[in-house]
Structure 1
Amino acid sequence: MMQHRIILQFLVSLVGLHYERARAKERGASAVEWVIITAIIVGIVALIGFTLRNAITNRAERVGGEIEGS
């Protein structure tokens, strides 16, 4: 009877270990997904910022040219 209990405890520990490893892998995958999502968002924000900067610079140059021309 004692031997069955030891075997049962071993199996429970083994299943628990596999469960924790699986959860750790999910956390790792989740972290990678968040890094990718963050990189995409940073890229989009940079693109929008670059576009706005160019638009503002072009407008400012046009206004400056009109002021000098008058």
Structure 2
Amino acid sequence: MNGRNFSTGNAGLDFMITFLQGRVQRARSGELDRGASAVEWVIISAVVVAIVGVVAAVINAALDKGAHKVSDCIEGADAGSTC
């Protein structure tokens, strides 16, 4: 076995050795940092979703308060007054 050109006579074992050599080469090259980058994107996305949720809750509360004010104004309205 001299690196890439080898044969054990067992196709399954040859495949496993080639596969593991590729994994080792990727680990040494730093290519596995992609996983860390993906985790960072997931965390950033979760923070953005949380911020959007908080903003939506605040807007919903403000709209609900305004809707109640308008509803109360309509219920108590008469021809000669304004709210």
TM over 0.5, shorter chain: yes
Aligned length: 57
| TM-score between both structures, scaled by the size of structure 2 | 0.60
Matched, 1:37 2:44: yes
The AA in structure 2 aligned to 1:52 is I
Deviations along 1:12-49, whole A, 9 cap, x unmatched?
x7xx71xx11211x111001100000000000000111
Distance of 2:54 and 2:66 partners within structure 1: 18
Q: Corresponding residue for 2:57?
A: 50
The AA in structure 1 aligned to 2:31 is R
Runs of 4 or more, structure 1, over 6 Å off, are: none
Higher relative contact order (CA 8 A, sep 6+): 2
**Which structure 2 residues correspond to residues 1-70 of structure 1 after superposition, within 5 A?**
6=2, 17=25, 20-21=26-27, 22-24=30-32, 26-70=33-77
Give the unaligned 5+ runs of structure 1.
Answer: 1-5
| Alpha-carbon shift at residue 55 of structure 1 (Å) | 0.4
Distance of 1:33 and 1:69 partners within structure 2: 54
CA RMSD of superposed structures (Å): 2.1
The AA in structure 2 aligned to 1:48 is V
The AA in structure 1 aligned to 2:56 is G
Whichever of the two has the greater Rg, that structure is: 2
